[in-house]
Amino acid sequence: MARAQRLLDLLQLLRSHRYPVAGQHLADTLGISLRTVYRDIATLQAQGADIEGEPGLGYVLKPGFLLPPLMLTREEIEALVLGARWVSRKTDDHLAAAAGQALAKITHVLPEDLRDHLAATHLLIGPAPGPKPVKVDISRIRSAIRNEEVLHLLYSDERGNGTERDIWPFALGFFEQVRVVIAWCELRKGFRHFRADRIEALAGTGRRYPRRRQQLLKEWRQENSIPEQPL
């Protein structure tokens, strides 16, 4: 097995475990020696992989590590560039800035030939009307989703009638002209969709909602017959 492929397989195996994995289990799964596992882990750590652990205790890969550029194909790079360009045009300011920063990091570590390919990519985001302006900070909603926090909204319907809602936000949809918060509504006792441009104000409540957002998302998909999206 080529060393680059072996390193990628080791990373993928570590990613599939949330808790420390014994070195011998890694070796047996990959069909390599325990000594090779230790050497490969040291190599990945030197390349920036946040792998914690030691012999006898096991190893765990902390989140946030970007795969080395040698493991990205030209089409994968094009997909990342196209996605970053879409995010920079169609989402909120914070995500747009993050997309630009991520693309700059990728560009910085790419080999020269792939860097030239990235700069000359022919995949563009076409012109279209931007999303409707919003009065609230979308990044605050994304933070509430990550933290499973109940939000208090002042919300107006299409006729301008206002209501106050406590919601459990668990997903955020980005469409060409609107952004939609998908949540469980305590007032309506069910799943509801809230257009971000109709949210007049929002505030945190300091409460965590009692169910995991993954479970809420799963139930919402089932209720609306929406298939799982690939990672």
Domain range for residue 160? Answer: 138-224
Structure tokens at 193: 């969709």
Indicate whether 143 and 220 sit together in one domain.
yes
| The pLDDT of residue 67 is above 70 | no
Tell me the average pLDDT across 181-185: 97
On average, the pLDDT of the chain sits at 86
56: left (phi over 0), alpha (psi -120 to 50) or beta: left
- CATH number at 25 reads 1.10.10.10
| DSSP secondary structure string for all residues of 78-100 | HHHHHHHHHHHHHS-HHHHHHHH
Indicate whether 79 and 32 sit together in one domain.
no
Q: Which residue has the higher pLDDT, 124 or 218?
A: 218
Q: Which residue has the tokens 């990728």?
A: 106
Count of domains for the chain:
3
Sign of CA dihedral 189, 215, 98, 19: positive
Asked if residues 107 and 69 have their Cβ atoms less than 8 Å apart, the reply is no
- CATH number at 144 reads 2.30.30
Amino acid (one-letter) located at 179: R
Indicate whether 216 and 178 sit together in one domain.
yes
Q: What global pTM score does this model have?
A: 0.64
